[in-house]
């Protein structure tokens, strides 16, 4: 595994040691990235190494096949990563990266596996997270695995699965009447109170909010390594990524930079497409208006719960990456998202999450406008399993497809075909 050289602020370049837990840059609040000695790694680590490591491990090492480019620590793992790439039946160039295959059913497992791994190494006892839902579920699982307390704050109308995960994994769950931004405020206030009241240092919660600590990005960057390795160490032409906080997109871009430094891949980087829901589209709006940062999106509402992030902390980074890669930000209406879920289930055998379906809906609209062609090589992320959303999808169907579902299931009665 790689020794961390330092943590570096992506905004001002300030460097700090990773010997103790860090949050954001103390100078300007910028995001801290983990940096390694890339010169040494370039000389010592070949790109065949991940496959050799996986073969030697026998059991599923998942994303830890990239241990050589991840922090040196004993992993808290449930088998996350190395998810399948599914070729679309209908579009020759389209591959779906099925992140629903992860433990806890979403790509959030990657970031939380890494963050909890480091938390355990630092000896942290309490982790807190404001979440749109799936990050909370993932933190609860990995914290349970590591024997660390998890404190979850999520909107009260998240899918039932997210609440249940928190309860079952034994976390301390707070359902908030508001959005992830309100949850974040509650977490920050609690930590401030704890510090002010003089509780013992080890009892003070550590906040693992998106981009406010360095390691969730580090776990999510493995999606970038994986997609390139699974394509035979070649870049696709485009990557489609459902964007809330944008951590995966930012992580993948970091992975591309690292892989180029290591000599593992070359050529033109993919165009990065950030996909949002029209009911909560701060980044799409800023993109259209040519702005460098987004504005708080008032009245956010969409059944793609993971995309209900009204003001992403790393909005400037997302916008910079999308623009410099020649991609774009597209927001889809909930009706189109539901339509895409139905389409992919019937025609491809894939039950997309609403977030993943925001990406497929945008893919369809870009094909229709000629911005993309069906043969262009695109890797599209289905960031979660549709099965985590049965209540949300059923509700959306009841509203938009009256009569398509019974009001209650025929419990206790077997329906015999006549």
Ligand X SMILES: Cc1ncc(COP(=O)(O)O)c(C=O)c1O
List residues near ligand X by CB under 6 A.
106, 108, 132, 134-135, 210, 242-248, 306, 353, 355, 383-384
What, of Zn ion, ligand X, none, does residue 9 touch, CB below 5 to 8 Å by kind?
Zn ion
* C-beta of 22 vs 60, nearer to Zn ion: 22
Locate 40 and state its tokens.
């040494």
Closest by alpha carbon to 180, among 209, 220, 219?
Answer: 209
Closer Cβ to ligand X, 244 or 279, answer by number: 244
In this complex, which beta carbon is closest to Zn ion, that of residue 22 or of residue 230?
Answer: 22
Q: Is 13 helix (H, G, I), strand (E, B) or coil?
A: coil
> Is the Cβ of residue 76 or residue 247 nearer to ligand X in the bound state?
247
**H helix runs in 21-124, sequence order:** 38-44, 49-57, 108-122
Query: 28 contacts which partner out of Zn ion, ligand X, none, CB within 5 to 8 A by kind?
Result: Zn ion
* The entry of ligand X, Zn ion, none that residue 242 binds, CB within 5 to 8 Å by partner kind: ligand X
User: Closest distance between ligand X and the C-beta of residue 151, in Å?
Assistant: 17
139 binding partner (options ligand X, Zn ion, none; Cβ < 5 to 8 Å by kind):
none
CA–CA distances in Å: residue 369 to residues 94, 167, 170, 364, 365: 17, 45, 48, 9, 6
Q: Which residue, 139 or 262, is less far from ligand X as judged by CB?
A: 139
Q: Which residues contact 171 (CB under 8 A, 6 or more apart)?
A: 136, 139, 140, 143, 144, 149, 150, 151, 152
Residues 9-48: x where in contact with Zn ion by CB under 5 A, - otherwise, as a string: x-xx-x----------x-xx-x------------------
State phi, psi for 298 to the nearest 5 degrees.
Answer: -70, 145
Closest CA to 7 of 254, 209, 313, 214: 214
For the bound state, the minimum distance from the C-beta of residue 20 to Zn ion, rounded and expressed in Å, comes to 17
To ligand X, the closest distance from the beta carbon of 272 in angstroms equals: 12
Q: What are the tokens at 267?
A: 């050529």
Binding site for Zn ion (CB under 5 A): 9, 11-12, 14, 25, 27-28, 30
């Amino acid at each position: 595994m790689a020794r961390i050289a330092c943590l570096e602020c992506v905004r001002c370049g300030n460097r700090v040691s990773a010997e103790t837990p860090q949050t954001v840059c103390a100078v300007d609040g910028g995001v801290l990235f983990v940096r390694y000695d890339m010169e040494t790694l370039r000389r010592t680590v070949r790109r065949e190494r991940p496959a050799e490591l996986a073969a030697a491990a026998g059991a599923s090492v998942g994303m830890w096949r990239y241990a050589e480019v991840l922090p040196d620590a004993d992993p808290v793992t449930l088998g996350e990563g190395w998810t399948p790439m599914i070729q679309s039946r209908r579009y020759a160039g389209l591959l779906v990266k099925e992140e629903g295959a992860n433990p806890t059913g979403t790509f959030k497992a990657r970031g939380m596996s890494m963050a909890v791994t480091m938390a355990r190494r630092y000896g942290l006892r309490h982790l807190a997270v404001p979440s749109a839902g799936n990050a909370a579920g993932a933190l609860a699982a990995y914290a349970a695995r590591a024997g660390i307390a998890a404190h979850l704050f999520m909107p009260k109308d998240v899918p039932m699965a997210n609440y249940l995960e928190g309860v079952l994994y034994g976390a301390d769950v707070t359902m908030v009447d508001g959005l992830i931004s309100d949850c974040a405020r509650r977490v920050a206030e609690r930590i401030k109170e704890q510090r002010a009241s003089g509780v013992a240092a080890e009892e003070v919660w550590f906040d693992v909010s998106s981009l406010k600590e360095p390691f969730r990005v580090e776990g999510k960057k493995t999606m970038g390594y994986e997609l390139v390795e699974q394509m035979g160490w070649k870049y696709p032409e485009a990557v489609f990524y459902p964007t809330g906080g944008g951590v995966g997109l930012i992580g993948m871009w970091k992975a591309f930079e690292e892989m180029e430094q290591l000599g593992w891949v070359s050529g033109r980087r993919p165009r990065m497409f950030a996909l949002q829901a029209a009911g909560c589209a701060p980044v799409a709006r800023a993109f259209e208006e040519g702005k460098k940062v987004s504005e708080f999106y008032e009245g956010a509402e969409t059944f793609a719960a993971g995309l209900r992030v009204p003001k992403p902390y790393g909005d400037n980074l997302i916008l910079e990456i999308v623009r410099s890669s020649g991609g774009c930000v597209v927001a889809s209406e909930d009706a189109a998202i539901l339509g895409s879920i139905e389409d992919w289930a019937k025609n491809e055998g894939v039950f997309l999450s609403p977030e993943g379906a925001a990406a497929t809906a945008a893919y369809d609209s870009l094909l229709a406008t000629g911005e993309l062609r069906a043969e262009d090589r695109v890797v599209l992320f289905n960031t979660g399993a549709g099965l985590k959303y049965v209540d949300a999808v059923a509700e959306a169907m009841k509203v938009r497809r009256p009569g398509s579902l019974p009001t209650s299931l025929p419990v206790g009665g077997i329906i015999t075909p006549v």
